[in-house]
Amino acid sequence: MRATVLKGIAVCAAIPLLVTLIGPSAYAEEPAEQTPGTTLTDRLVEAAAEGVTAPAELAEEVALPVAGGGSLTFDDAERVTATVVFESAPSEALLASVAGIAEVDTVLGAFPAATVRVAPARLGELAELPGVLSATPALRPFTGGAVASGGAASSARAGGPLAAAPRPSGEACGPIPIEADGPLHSAEARERFGVDGTGVTVGVISDSFGANALPTSWEADVAAGVLPGAGNPCGRTIPVEVISDMRTGSDEGRAMAQLVHGIAPGARILFADAGASEFEMAEHIGQLAAAGADIIVDDISWNSETTFQQGFIATAIEQVKASGVAYFTSAGNGTALGTRGASADRPISSWRTTAYRAAACPDWLLTGPRDPLANLGSYDCLDFDPDPAIETPFDTLQTGGAVGDGADAVSVVGSIAEPMFGITTSYEWRFYAVDPVTDEPKLLAIAPQIGEFFPGSIGRVSVPSGSEIRMVMVRTAFDPAAPSPAVQLQFMRGGEAFVERAHLGDGVNDVVGATTFGHAGDGSALSVAALDWRNPTVLRDYSSLGSTTLYYAPVDLTGPNPAQPLAAPITPQTPNIASVDGTQTSFFDDTGDPEYRFFGTSAAAPNAAAVAALAKSYVPGLSGGDLTAGIVNTARGPAAGGPVNPYTAFGIPDSSVFGAGIVDASALLESLTVLPGTPQGFRASEVTADSFVLSWDTASDAKQLQLEATPVAVVVADAPGETVPGAAGAAAATITAELAGDATSHKLTGLSSGTVYAVRLTAQNPVGSSDAATLEVATTSIAPKPPTTTPPTTTPPPTPSSAAPQSPLAQTGAGDTPLLALGAGAILLLGAAACGAVALRRRIVR
């Protein structure tokens, strides 16, 4: 097994002698030579070499949970899943050497690494191969699901086959109500804007999709209408497309897909599991984007993710965002509140300082001569008190309950602000319980660094009830020339076991309570906090808080090269937005309530992503960046009836609790819609006594046009050019017409003759109506025909005796010409009067 050699540190012979003279509290301000503390890999190999091979016993030996987030993954042959990082792209010969020791499952394409299964005792052999940089156990990720506290337990269930049922207008079809519709205004958005997610593809990343068949299966969910696919009773027949599924999880991904489908039933859904490591998840993100995902949502937190630098997943997210994808993630469920003293009602699940402060370790630190620290030349401990005059090399936490009531499991994750593959500090976290009788601290567990090139640490501690717990960070090696790194430790799960802690920070250099990390806290994804769906002003007390600070450039995907420091630290504000959880699914929960309810930021995130799908369906050309900006900008904050910050008294700002506020689907879509402009070029033609044709230019941004013609006057038949306002009569009624938004003409018929009509044309879309274009048009009058009479019978005069020839016109009736000319003149006068009235009254108002 290789030992890490810290370059540039001279050998100091005085340190071992000092340790011998003063005992286990040895402390050197700048140790000249260090032997790194053992990593998780080292401990796993040592335990296996001592004969501990059964998965449960091995997990216990290295202080990891047996199952769930932070646990080791074993196959049937009791081989552990691990990630091998190569110095550069591996050759076929190197891969063959790896295959001689382990089963190679995946060789990654984007980064020189591979996922393997190896006997724990042989993990160190992989790290010794030429060309291999490290071999590290791949621990299971944490998902964002949570059990609601205070729920009424019940053994009753909404049993029996699920069946789709009709729902009120605007609600999705299916057997369960879409309870997020109300607080997120998504039903209103579907109804008002006529969208359902059609044309949009949503990618989901979680633990699994089709691993379980109880209480429902994927197929049963489709048949009931809670998922799309062939046979879906609501007509949603495009099935969920599974890109990858390890089939070893809780099917939290299927529950997330149900929530997406409930709000955006027309959306196409893709699923990919989180993979065996953060390296694999980064590749799966790219695969979802390549498969057409417009929006991706995950609920995954890897314990190996970097806290103070954008890691592999964050870098993959930034790449797909650059191609137009909108990315959402759960903020996490790491918050727990204290209940006693100064800790009461405040978040106490994490502790962070801007720079490591060295202090002499407590004299009770070592457990005996076999303690790994006993063989180190020197080490020091973190000072939890920012006052330079006071050294406190441990923090004190109190667990709830009474002594002897049992113990609670707490999953811890820590990190230092050094770049991946550029680690100069070795450290470990130790947890001690003070014996209530002897007052002596007893070592409970050690949480080591994950690997020599990883800044993070991981562990599981079983803390007894009613006890004083002392938490110590021990630094076993460092580079004196490097800056003192920032430090973070948080309780990913089980933090509610603690009711009080001694050091609550100063809010500037030392901060308590921030629990977002990795891609949920580094600004790459839109991080989603959780609110109670029944009352969306109430923050879930487990919803993780921000924020963190980035000190280094993102990891380099081309190879294991340490990143450079940023010119100045960056503090992304997370979470970015909030959504609701606790809504119904067909199968997923742990509460025992009559309905199956999905709690945690794992549920809040897909509900928010589904709202984004509605917006993308409404404006298909919307980029991912504009979409996420729109969601943030239209979120309802406290001033608009949104969530209320319960931590203002502790100086925690809204931006670190729920970001901009709760997602609002209706406000989002409204913000994406431009009020249509007044139709231009409004004109009339082909005017007759009972009709005319109206025309106009194409109205931009219009979904519908409203046309209205109201009679306002009649033409005075015997007074050319004059009209009588308001004398149109009952027969001349208002005429209306609703037209498509792209219409440019319409003929109005059935009008009254000789009537002046005021015509209005407005353009409409879901936001509202434009100003009206108006004009007045007068129909022509119908001239009355002269009465028909029979002339009296008379005796014609005698024929003249002369034979003078007559004019041909006279022979054809030309003798009546003066009367005909008079009639024609009257008709001309009437026509002129009507035309004059039209000329005087006709106008266009734009």
> So where are the chain's domains?
181-334+528-671, 336-513, 683-784+830-845
Work out the average pLDDT over 269-295. Answer: 97
pLDDT in the model for residue 171? 55
- Mean pLDDT over the full length of the chain: 86
Work out the average pLDDT over 665-687. Answer: 94
Overall fold of domain 181-334+528-671? Rossmann fold (3.40.50)
Give the pTM: 0.82
Name the nearest CA neighbour of 332 among 536, 460, 459, 492: 492
Q: Are 489 and 350 in contact (CB under 8 A)?
A: yes
pLDDT in the model for residue 62? 92
Over 50: is that where the pLDDT of 650 sits?
yes
pLDDT in the model for residue 247? 76
Question: 336-513 in CATH: which number?
Answer: 2.60.120.380
Please tell me the distance from the alpha carbon of residue 62 to that of residue 618, in angstroms, as a whole number.
Answer: 52
Any idea which residue has 């050094």 for tokens? 418
Return phi, psi of residue 612, to 5°: -60, -35
Q: Are 748 and 735 in contact (CB under 8 A)?
A: yes
> Of the CATH numbers 2.60.40.10, 3.90.105.10, 3.40.640.10, 3.90.650.10, which one belongs to the domain with range 683-784+830-845?
2.60.40.10
Over 80: is that where the pLDDT of 249 sits?
yes
In this structure, the strands spanning 683-685 and 691-695 are antiparallel
pLDDT in the model for residue 834? 36
Please tell me the distance from the alpha carbon of residue 671 to that of residue 631, in angstroms, as a whole number.
Answer: 9
Please tell me the distance from the alpha carbon of residue 835 to that of residue 721, in angstroms, as a whole number.
Answer: 7
Whether residue 215 has a cis bond before it, omega within 30° of 0: yes
Query: What share of the chain in percent tops pLDDT 70?
Result: 83
pLDDT in the model for residue 213? 82
pLDDT in the model for residue 720? 57
Q: Tens of pLDDT along 107-126?
A: 998 899 999 999 999 999 99
